[in-house]
A and B are shown apart, each in its own frame.
Chain A
Amino acid sequence: MTLVQDLPQVRGVKNIPIQEGFTSGHRTCQGCESALTMRLMIKAAGPRTIVVGSTGCMYVANTTYYSTPWVVPWMHTQLGSSGAAATGTAAGLASMMRKGKMKDEPINVIAFCGDGGGVDMGLAGISAALQHDEYNLLILCYDNESYANTDIQVSGSSPWGANSTFSPPGKVHRIMNKRWKKNTAPMLAAGHPSCRYVATACASYGLDFTNKIRRALTIGGPTFIHVIDPCPKGWDYDPKYSHELGMLAVETGLWVQYEIADGELTLSGPSRAIQSGVRQRKPVQEYLQRQGRFAHLNEEDLEFFQSRVDESWDEWWLPGVVPFKKPEE
């Protein structure tokens, strides 16, 4: 196994590293939360990092030729190849370092993908990457809940009922996307027992996200982080509310923030407060009604949506995380 960097946990938002790795030059939309995710990700990882990005808005909008925002080495990979790209980069470095063809030093390898590239097309590749304990790598899925680079099409990670260019509400069918969002992070954690670190996060909670990146890169072996990124264009809201919508996703209990480190599950921030009963979940309606993509939902739809979220907290064995019903007392 190659070396890992020493990236201690950051205490307090003011102690987040000041050095930027994702700077000016990108062309992301106003209010793009994924751009903030990228910025925080590389601040947390530091300069001795190779980033590989699969096709998606964080490729197309970010790396216009001659105006790349990436200060660290960066390379494109195909839509479904974040897992293979991370494996290949890490394997190339590991092999050459072991054979003395390259200086032996810890280099972070991060491959990112959107929800289309990760949750849909690249799932098998990510799964395979998480089996290779001998390589240190992080796969980061930035989830804006649609194929946002190609005009907002529904993905396997889009919420039930969301309006997209492939799931437009019509005169006969009000709800075109009848699929419930995939529960990706727990699927990967449960499916890969030797993978030491899987986490979920949201850039609205920047310190929590920063520390999860740093833990993923120091624990060793392949790791996975799933981040929810509000998208003004795809979700249809005023760009100034991105941060607030990220918070609402967590506060309503729809997006749960946690980490699974060496098999131990720890919820963080509002999710932890909800779990321990310190705080009540906000009604999902407060989150849904702020977004144009849910404007066509009627009372019945909102009730259904709420009931599914309630079920995940009240009836699941690990509330909000694993969809197995609690065993009978």
Chain B
Amino acid sequence: MTTTVEEQLFMTEKEELISGSEAVAIACALADVDVITAYPIRPYDTVMQYVSQLKANGAFDCDFIVAESEHSQFEIVKHASSVGARTFCGSSGVGWFYAFEAIAVTAGLRLPVVAMVGNRALDDPGAFGVEHNDALAVRDLGWMLYWVATAQEALDMALMAWRIAEDPRAFLPMALSCDGSFLTHSQAIVNVPTQEQVNRFLPGYDRGKLQLHPDNPITVAPQVNEDWLMEIRRQSNEAMTRTPAVIKEVYEEFKQVFGRGDPSPFIEEYMMDDDPDIVLMGMGTLALPVRVAIRRMREQGKKVGFVRLKFFRPFATEEVQQALGGAKAVAVVDRDYSFGSPSFGGVLFNEVRAALYPLEKRPHVVNFIAGLGGREVRVRDVEEMVEITQKAIDTGKIEQECNWIGVRE
């Protein structure tokens, strides 16, 4: 009996040494995505290189379209999604911004496009390294935003992304933010599931009565003006408020089928069992140096823990309150900036501070801007953050709310 390349590829569960981008590309094949659009920009474009290889070698049947710009790239998948096709695309840095109009309307139309953002600093000046400002720019538009830390998580969360986004309770697009280089290009051992497992977990995309088709002659996105826009915005808001329940459900099922996952889909806690005095918080691959630093500080007897925020949207307010509310001080590490924002701090810092405000007993919240443009966040940088935060606890006041770490001054 002969088998196809695809069957051979995903017939048995196996461990492979692959990058984050390759993991997402494999997820695309396992999810049987119908339309994928590409446009080159570093570092996200590695995912499209792997997708094109899978297609070229007959391991993956999809319509792979190399668009003439990011704007068209995102418009093509938006329209493919409207007729019921499962879609994937992505970008980085200013490429993501070039597509911004299409990104906005995809959320407005509530089309479940899944995208990968290979986080990259915005031009100018040119820099390939990671900053989170590209993906964060869509935080108010109705995109679910997830920050990945490992290649395994990239594969797993990509599979979950279609399931979550295409759930009719959500019908919202979802972006997987992957730190440029640190995740997109770094290889790690990844457990690649079988097609049979994925088929059990991930049903096909059904656009239902919203599908654009001659058998269902609807008009999508008419001109509504002040007569209806507020109601439609409210519907989008309702959809986003329903997503935490959908995410929890999908995450639990994923754990059952694939046998791996964290206790919570929204946050990952590290050395948090003994209610540490100082809790660091950040997103993405930052977790790696922070964990090393915490282990070292724990050896010195310092009670420090770490909470990695995974979903930035929807923002898990209660989980964050529970995880951080008991600490004396929270150190929020931003791999982004928000010039002119409250306390001239980062985006995550202001979100976390807002989330903690309703608590009766609030911890000090200190902000650290670090690792911009792909600069390495070193163990001693993390130790410096903890020292500054400890000072706030000792003196009872925060000397400077936003601190830039590892910057030449």
Measured CB to CB, the residues of A under 8 A from B are 47-50, 52, 59-60, 63-66, 68, 70-78, 80-81, 83-89, 91-96, 98-99, 101-102, 107, 124-125, 127-128, 132
User: Which residue of A49, A66, A128 contacts B68 across the interface (Cβ within 8 Å)?
Assistant: A128
Do B35 and A88 touch (CB < 8 A)? yes
**Selected A-B contacts with CB under 8 Å, 12 pairs:** A66-B222, A74-B218, A75-B219, A76-B222, A84-B71, A87-B72, A91-B35, A91-B76, A91-B85, A92-B87, A95-B35, A125-B75
Most chain A CB inside 10 Å of its own CB: which residue of B75, B216, B218, B225: B75
Complex Cα gap A101–B224 (Å): 33
Q: A101's closest neighbor in chain B, by CB? A: B204
Tell me which residues across on chain B come within 8 A of A107, comparing CB atoms. 213-214
Tell me which residues across on chain B come within 8 A of A74, comparing CB atoms. 217-220
Do B72 and A125 touch (CB < 8 A)? yes
In the complex, whether B156 has a CB less than 8 A from a CB of chain A is: no
Complex Cα gap A71–B100 (Å): 31
Least Cβ distance of B207 to chain A in Å? 10
Do B67 and A99 touch (CB < 8 A)? no
Do A75 and B35 touch (CB < 8 A)? no
Contacts A50-B212, A74-B220 known; A81 to B72 CB distance under 8 Å?
A: yes
Contacts A50-B213, A92-B80 known; A65 to B75 CB distance under 8 Å?
A: no
Complex Cα gap A142–B402 (Å): 54
Q: B105's closest neighbor in chain A, by CB? A: A78
Q: A80's closest neighbor in chain B, by CB? A: B71
Least Cβ distance of B358 to chain A in Å? 38
User: Which residue of A77, A78, A95 contacts B85 across the interface (Cβ within 8 Å)?
Assistant: A95
In the complex, whether B364 has a CB less than 8 A from a CB of chain A is: no
Tell me which residues across on chain B come within 8 A of A72, comparing CB atoms. 214, 217
Q: B69's closest neighbor in chain A, by CB? A: A124
Q: B215-247 CB contact bits vs A (8 Å, 1 = yes)?
A: 011111111110110000000000000000000
Contacts A65-B223, A65-B228 known; A92 to B82 CB distance under 8 Å?
A: yes
Interface residue tally on B, bucketed by range: 35 or more
Tell me which residues across on chain B come within 8 A of A128, comparing CB atoms. 67-68, 72
In the complex, whether B84 has a CB less than 8 A from a CB of chain A is: yes
Q: B38-67 CB contact bits vs A (8 Å, 1 = yes)?
A: 000000000000000000000001110101
Do B102 and A91 touch (CB < 8 A)? no
Q: For chain B, what secondary structure do more than half of its interface residues adopt (helix, strand, loop), or is it mixed?
A: mixed
Q: A73-B218, A93-B85 are in contact. List 5 more A-B contacts (CB 8 A).
A: A92-B35, A93-B83, A98-B61, A99-B61, A107-B213
In the complex, whether B79 has a CB less than 8 A from a CB of chain A is: yes
Do A96 and B72 touch (CB < 8 A)? no
Q: B87's closest neighbor in chain A, by CB? A: A92
Do A96 and B222 touch (CB < 8 A)? no
Complex Cα gap A143–B159 (Å): 45
User: Which residue of B72, B217, B223 contacts A59 across the interface (Cβ within 8 Å)?
Assistant: B223
Tell me which residues across on chain B come within 8 A of A94, comparing CB atoms. 63
Q: For chain A, what secondary structure do more than half of its interface residues adopt (helix, strand, loop), or is it mixed?
A: mixed
Complex Cα gap A60–B221 (Å): 11
Complex Cα gap A70–B84 (Å): 20
In the complex, whether B77 has a CB less than 8 A from a CB of chain A is: yes
Do B220 and A96 touch (CB < 8 A)? no
Tell me which residues across on chain A come within 8 A of B62, comparing CB atoms. 95
Most chain B CB inside 10 Å of its own CB: which residue of A64, A85, A96, A128: A96
Q: A72's closest neighbor in chain B, by CB? A: B217
Least Cβ distance of A109 to chain B in Å? 9
In the complex, whether B78 has a CB less than 8 A from a CB of chain A is: yes
Complex Cα gap A116–B218 (Å): 26
Complex Cα gap A131–B62 (Å): 18
Least Cβ distance of A17 to chain B in Å? 15
User: Which residue of B76, B101, B204, B220 contacts A87 across the interface (Cβ within 8 Å)?
Assistant: B76
Do B222 and A68 touch (CB < 8 A)? yes
Do B80 and A88 touch (CB < 8 A)? yes
Complex Cα gap A73–B210 (Å): 10
| Chain B residues numbered 79-104 whose CB sits less than 8 Å from any CB in chain A | 79-85, 87, 101-102
User: Which residue of A50, A64, A99 contacts B222 across the interface (Cβ within 8 Å)?
Assistant: A64
In the complex, whether B32 has a CB less than 8 A from a CB of chain A is: yes
Most chain A CB inside 10 Å of its own CB: which residue of B35, B78, B79: B79
Least Cβ distance of A110 to chain B in Å? 12
Complex Cα gap A83–B81 (Å): 16
Do B223 and A92 touch (CB < 8 A)? no
In the complex, whether B34 has a CB less than 8 A from a CB of chain A is: yes
Complex Cα gap A65–B84 (Å): 23
Contacts A70-B219, A73-B213 known; A92 to B68 CB distance under 8 Å?
A: no
Do A50 and B68 touch (CB < 8 A)? no
Tell me which residues across on chain A come within 8 A of B213, comparing CB atoms. 50, 73, 107
Tell me which residues across on chain A come within 8 A of B35, comparing CB atoms. 88, 91-92, 95
Tell me which residues across on chain B come within 8 A of A65, comparing CB atoms. 222-225, 227-228
Do A124 and B221 touch (CB < 8 A)? no
Do B214 and A96 touch (CB < 8 A)? no
Tell me which residues across on chain A come within 8 A of B221, comparing CB atoms. 75-76
User: Which residue of B69, B81, B214, B223 contacts A50 across the interface (Cβ within 8 Å)?
Assistant: B214
Least Cβ distance of A168 to chain B in Å? 28
User: Which residue of B67, B80, B223 contacts A95 across the interface (Cβ within 8 Å)?
Assistant: B80
Do B65 and A87 touch (CB < 8 A)? yes
Tell me which residues across on chain A come within 8 A of B83, comparing CB atoms. 50, 89, 92-93, 96
Do A84 and B72 touch (CB < 8 A)? yes
Do B65 and A132 touch (CB < 8 A)? yes
Complex Cα gap A31–B214 (Å): 30
Complex Cα gap A39–B256 (Å): 55
Contacts A47-B214, A75-B82, A91-B80 known; A101 to B67 CB distance under 8 Å?
A: no
Q: A94's closest neighbor in chain B, by CB? A: B63
User: Which residue of B75, B217, B225 contacts A77 across the interface (Cβ within 8 Å)?
Assistant: B75
Q: B205's closest neighbor in chain A, by CB? A: A101
Least Cβ distance of B44 to chain A in Å? 19
Complex Cα gap A85–B111 (Å): 14
Most chain B CB inside 10 Å of its own CB: which residue of A48, A60, A93, A98: A93
Tell me which residues across on chain B come within 8 A of A50, comparing CB atoms. 83, 212-214
Q: A111's closest neighbor in chain B, by CB? A: B79
Do B223 and A81 touch (CB < 8 A)? no
**A-B residue pairs, 3 tightest by C-beta:** A88-B79, A92-B80, A92-B85
Tell me which residues across on chain A come within 8 A of B67, comparing CB atoms. 84, 128
Tell me which residues across on chain B come within 8 A of A71, comparing CB atoms. 217
Complex Cα gap A300–B390 (Å): 82
Q: B224's closest neighbor in chain A, by CB? A: A65
Tell me which residues across on chain B come within 8 A of A88, comparing CB atoms. 35, 75-80, 82
